[in-house]
Amino acid sequence: MNALLLELWPLIWIVFKVICIVAPLLLVVAYLTLAERKVIGYIQRRLGPNRVGILGILQPIADGLKLLFKEWVIPTKSSKFLFIIAPILSLVPALLMWAVVPFTQEWVLANIDAGVLFILSMASLGVYGILLAGWASNSKYAFFGAMRACAQMISYEIAMGFALIGVLMVSGSMNLKTIVMHQAGGVSHWFVWPLFPMFMVYWISAIAETNRAPFDVAEGESEIVAGFHVEYSGMGFALFFLAEYANMIIVSALAVLMFFGGWLSPFEGFKLFSGAAVPGIIWFVLKVFLFLFSYLWFRATLPRYRYDQIMRLGWKILIPIAIGWIVIIGAMIQFNWIEV
């Protein structure tokens, strides 16, 4: 018995660490939905949810329970197996990406060398859930939504990949921990300064990749009802919801890791605010929340793009900017204008 336990111990330890990542993540997802409704409410001079618990603090729990106990309707003439598996296929990659994210210098589940590539390949898998949901539903609105989402995600993946190539060139590594350590030395050493156009390209394509406003034509309530998940109810809808918000958090975390110094303090080098006073995880979480807030801000501020405008922005503006800046980075590295 003891020998078996000893043999399985690494596995149990990994599962424990996975729970330590996923449980807070789901909590953040739940409260991000509340934050979204509150922030957008305040921006539009409303109060937002304020009835369940003090200031609506229990609203996500009430929503979760409601979705859990709702009937899951499967449309007739739908492809049943694919219909059920599609929400799972969109949630799994969103959670898998967290395996390589370093929260602080020590807290990382899998410190693999090809971390950035792993994240990119998992992000590219997310489109299958949406595509299959749209097809298996056997509904024209769902199919339109899936087609739109698919074309949009493939187009913006390219811009996103090129933006990340800039980071790889400057840091010389695909390991996320090494990328963050390259930015040590205070706010002026963060990659966002030499790579500012790349950061803009990354952030715009990240919003498009997660199908959020102003690029949410895949859901487009005013045109195609609710897009790819129009036929989903109950837990199926909840899983798509979870995947969308988990994706939002991961792309925010990536922006922080690659352009804003990850867990590093912005005041490094100042004696008064030396990094030891505030643990790295607090800086990391604060920066991620800043990006999540910008998501909500955009949604409350910007109108939805038209479909051809999205394609134009992706192919004719973002990709040329990213490719052009790669050449400039190459020159900067060659002439030693930035440290590598």
Partner 1 sequence: MLELREIIFWIFSFGLICSALLVVTTRRPVWSVLALVSAFVCAAALWVMQGAEFLGLALIFIYVGAVMTLFLFVVMMLNQESLTAERLRRYALPFALGLAGFLLFLLWHHAWPVSVAASLPESRFTGTNTQALGRMLYGSYVFEFELAAFILLVGMISAIGLTFRGKRAGNKAVPVEAQLNVSSKDRLSVATFKDAS
SS3 state at 83: helix
Candidate residues 52, 125, 187, 235; the one interacting with partner 1 per rule CB under 8 A: 125
Candidate residues 58, 75, 96, 113; the one interacting with partner 1 per rule CB under 8 A: 113
Match 């590598």 to its residue by tokens.
Answer: 340
| Minimum CB distance to partner 1, residue 135 (Å) | 5
Q: What share of the chain is helix, strand, coil (3-state, %, to 5)?
A: 70, 0, 30
Confirm if 202 and 195 have CB atoms less than 8 A apart: no
Note whether 6 binds partner 1 by CB under 8 A: no
Residue 303 DSSP symbol: P
Of 50 and 138, nearer to partner 1 (C-beta) is: 138
In this structure, the chain runs to a length of: 340
Question: Looking only at residues 239 through 258 of this chain, which bind partner 1 when binding is defined by CB under 8 A?
Answer: none
Of 135 and 162, nearer to partner 1 (C-beta) is: 135
221: Cβ–Cβ under 8 A, 6 or more apart, which residues?
Answer: none
Of 71 and 308, nearer to partner 1 (C-beta) is: 308
DSSP 170-192: HH--S-HHHHHHTT-SSGGGSTT
Task: Look at residues 11, 314, 3 and name the one whose alpha carbon lies nearest to residue 148.
Answer: 314
Note whether 147 binds partner 1 by CB under 8 A: yes
Note whether 327 binds partner 1 by CB under 8 A: no
Note whether 131 binds partner 1 by CB under 8 A: yes
| Minimum CB distance to partner 1, residue 223 (Å) | 18
Residue ranges binding partner 1 (CB under 8 A):
7, 11, 79, 82, 112-114, 117-118, 120-125, 127-128, 131-132, 135, 143, 147, 150-151, 154, 157, 174, 308, 312
